[in-house]
Structure 1
Amino acid sequence: MVTEAEMTEAGIKARAREVLDIPAATEVEWIPFAGRGSDRAYFRLRWGSGDSAILVRYGQDRKENGYHAAIGWFLEEIGIPVPRILHHDPARGLILQEDLGDEDLYTLRNEPWEVRGPLYRKTLEVVAVLHSWPEEEFLRDPVPLMEGFSPDLYRWERDYFREHFVLGLCGVALPPAEEDALERELAALALRLTRHRRCLVHRDLQSQNVMIREGGPVLIDYQGMRFGSRFYDLGSLLCDPYVSFTRPERQELIDFCRGPGEGPEEFRKAFWEASAQRLMQALGAYGFLARERGLGRYLAHVPPGLANLRLAADRARSLPLLERLCGRCAAALGEKGEAPEGVPPGGEGS
């Protein structure tokens, strides 16, 4: 049984020293990372002449936190680059893992496309391995996962979007008839997404979750992995509100993802529809984190996120009511003066 003393900072440091075999006389620097909107806290431990590791301390309330280590070992086994897990202590909610440094796709967001483009293509190649892993092979030696994408989960995401972003942040309340029509449109979208080929998906494949080590991508924050549509991951990465793409850059990557035998029009529609679903979830999260958790920095991602959602709804050619709602939200935020400036209209850089 874990005692209260063992869960103090001193107790956790003592446990880390024991696992990492750090002598008692060696000073350990304990460096907290800025919060990332979850119940996981991250620390960099430094000691000796340049040795380091990352300590993750997670809450027990969210089931997916306890899956992190098992999923990490599975991904490493199938050749997906992830941080090496040094130790997992589920009773204490602690993980010690390899320190990958500070460079990720987000920190490189202002680099020229000659630098960023190859890294995104390498990331898409890595994710393609995950997306192509046979489900029957996975089921032979299953790893604990969250429940897969389903009409219920897609409904939860769009309700989250309407509650915390549309109404909560933007203050837009739709008349009942418009609300019902929008629900029919989004429920039909969810049904189409559930018809995509099922595969393993990262679920939060955005630029801050792709570290760069020795010129190659390494995936982190994969504890929400589950079965779903690969297009959800592609939309997460290529319509990421944290970074911007020119239209040719994004199109280059979309074309890079399309496999032989996949029709361009069908692929395009699946990509933009899944991107719209993902962006609803992201905007709902920004509204929740800003309003309920007091993390106002997430408001900076609202304008590009909303612009990207509007773009996805337009390009999908099947979501006119969602596209119209985006316009109303943008106008409402402008009137309230709460939205900082974002990317140019349309969600793509010039």
Structure 2
Amino acid sequence: MRHTENTFIAYARKILGIAGEAAGRMALKAIMKGGSDRCFYRLTVGDDKSFLFMAYGRQQEENSYWVDIAAFLAALGVPVPAVYGHDRELGFVLMEDLGDRDLWSYRHEPWEVRRGLYRKVLQRISPLHTFAECSPSKGKDGPPANIAASLPRIMKGYDRELYRWEHDYFLEQFVRDVCRINLTELEGAALGEELAALTGRLLGAGKALVHRDLQSQNIMICGGGPVFIDFQGLRRGSLFYDLGSLLCDPYVPLTAEERDELLRYAHELLPLDLDWTPFREGFLDGSAQRLMQALGAFGFLGLKKGKEAFLGHIPQGIENLCRMAAASGRLPELLKLAERCNGVRLTY
């Protein structure tokens, strides 16, 4: 056992108050999942108890926000793992073990099963999307002051700069490096103008708090309901970005009918003063934005970080982007580029 693992176990023993014979029955097993630069371990104590141990570094500012955001979400009624211990100096977190079943693991279940799970996800995440600057609203003008004051430190919200960064990420890490497509000056200018307009629409759609990575592998299913993880990137932005993350998830293909049914459910669920048509238009914009970010991440993680499994999700991701851009009718340049990428025979 490496020294670092001994350190992890020593910390867990201290937090859990375990000594004597029980301490000798503690074991760690690494959990390899996702594109995170954090380390996760399942800590077992004997045959009947288990916990999750997370070790994070300081390379990513958002990692240090995880515990405070977890407390905030729990106070809102959004289900998250229970936290048993946190050492900010060491970057250690001991938390509840939610098991191995996430929403992704239900992808082959009948729609009758998956429909119920997705509806529960939309229900349980809605307090986040309706918190604070979610506008316009049918209800009260925001939360009570004491709740607003409980908002912890979070990452800088979406603005023109961050949206533009995601566009560049897509163009560089995916279009250029994966598809080997270089746009002409005229093509780049036309696309840039179109994406600037997309940014303007997203900024004009109102600001909510968003998870920013609300996809099937970040939603654990425990006790028949969803529990949310990987929320350290939470920030202010468009709720349509989160809806796009969930309903245009490259990891879990949904039929057009399934997606539309869930989107209509979200429209009825959320207290927004928006008719169906502008709500759907906002969703198409948010989905296109999210899919560009996801494809950029797949390229970066697959090619630069050596996590080749992400490359396998590119075909579904680009197919989703083609569908959302086409349905929008306001993204012809992006559609043209997405179709061009979709026609490339990818070799890695």
TM-score, length basis structure 2: 0.92
- 2:221 counterpart of 1:212: yes
SS of alignment partner, residue 325 of structure 2: helix
1:292-307 paired onto structure 2 within 5 Å: 292-307=304-319
Identity within the alignment, %:
46
Cα displacement string for residues 34-90 of structure 1 (whole angstroms, at most 9, x for unaligned residues): 142121111100112310100011111111000000000111111111000111111
Counterparts of 1:64 and 1:280 in 2: how far apart (Å)? Answer: 21
Q: Which amino acid aligns with 2:28?
A: W
Number of residue pairs matched by the alignment: 331
Counterparts of 1:142 and 1:122 in 2: how far apart (Å)? Answer: 24
Checking the alignment, whether the CA contact within 8 Å between 2:5 and 2:28 is kept in structure 1 is: no
Counterparts of 2:33 and 2:20 in 1: how far apart (Å)? Answer: 29
Partner of 2:196: 187
Distance 1:181 1:139, change over 3 A: same
SS of alignment partner, residue 113 of structure 2: helix
1:225-244 paired onto structure 2 within 5 Å: 225-244=234-253
Distance 1:315 1:298, change over 3 A: same
Counterparts of 1:212 and 1:52 in 2: how far apart (Å)? Answer: 17
Partner of 1:85: 83
Moved more, 135-144 or 12-21: 135-144
Moved more, 57-66 or 16-25: 16-25
Checking the alignment, whether the CA contact within 8 Å between 2:81 and 2:96 is kept in structure 1 is: yes
Partner of 1:70: 68
Q: Which amino acid aligns with 1:327?
A: E
Cα displacement string for residues 276-307 of structure 1 (whole angstroms, at most 9, x for unaligned residues): 00000000000000111011110110000000
Moved more, 138-147 or 294-303: 138-147
Distance 1:35 1:218, change over 3 A: closer
Counterparts of 2:182 and 2:191 in 1: how far apart (Å)? Answer: 12
TM-score, length basis structure 1: 0.92
Partner of 2:337: 325
SS of alignment partner, residue 55 of structure 1: strand
Partner of 2:137: none
Partner of 1:347: none
Cα displacement string for residues 145-196 of structure 1 (whole angstroms, at most 9, x for unaligned residues): 0000111100000100001000011100011110111011001101110111
Distance 1:141 1:129, change over 3 A: closer
Partner of 1:165: 174
Counterparts of 1:210 and 1:11 in 2: how far apart (Å)? Answer: 29
Contiguous gaps of at least 5 residues in structure 2: 134-141
- 2:10 counterpart of 1:14: yes
Moved more, 305-314 or 9-18: 9-18
Question: Alpha-carbon deviation of 1:327?
Answer: 1.2
Question: Alpha-carbon deviation of 1:141?
Answer: 2.9
Partner of 2:151: 142
Partner of 1:221: 230
Question: Alpha-carbon deviation of 1:102?
Answer: 0.9
Moved more, 39-48 or 127-136: 127-136
Counterparts of 1:35 and 1:202 in 2: how far apart (Å)? Answer: 19
Counterparts of 2:245 and 2:171 in 1: how far apart (Å)? Answer: 19
Runs of 4+ in 1 over 3 A off after TM superposition: 135-139
1:273 to 285, 299, 313: 285
Question: Alpha-carbon deviation of 1:310?
Answer: 0.8
SS of alignment partner, residue 275 of structure 1: helix
Distance 1:71 1:228, change over 3 A: same
Question: Alpha-carbon deviation of 1:24?
Answer: 4.2
Partner of 2:320: 308
- What is the RMSD of the two structures over their aligned residues, measured on CA atoms? 1.5
Cα displacement string for residues 91-147 of structure 1 (whole angstroms, at most 9, x for unaligned residues): 111111101111111011110011110110010011111111234645423301000
Checking the alignment, whether the CA contact within 8 Å between 2:72 and 2:151 is kept in structure 1 is: no
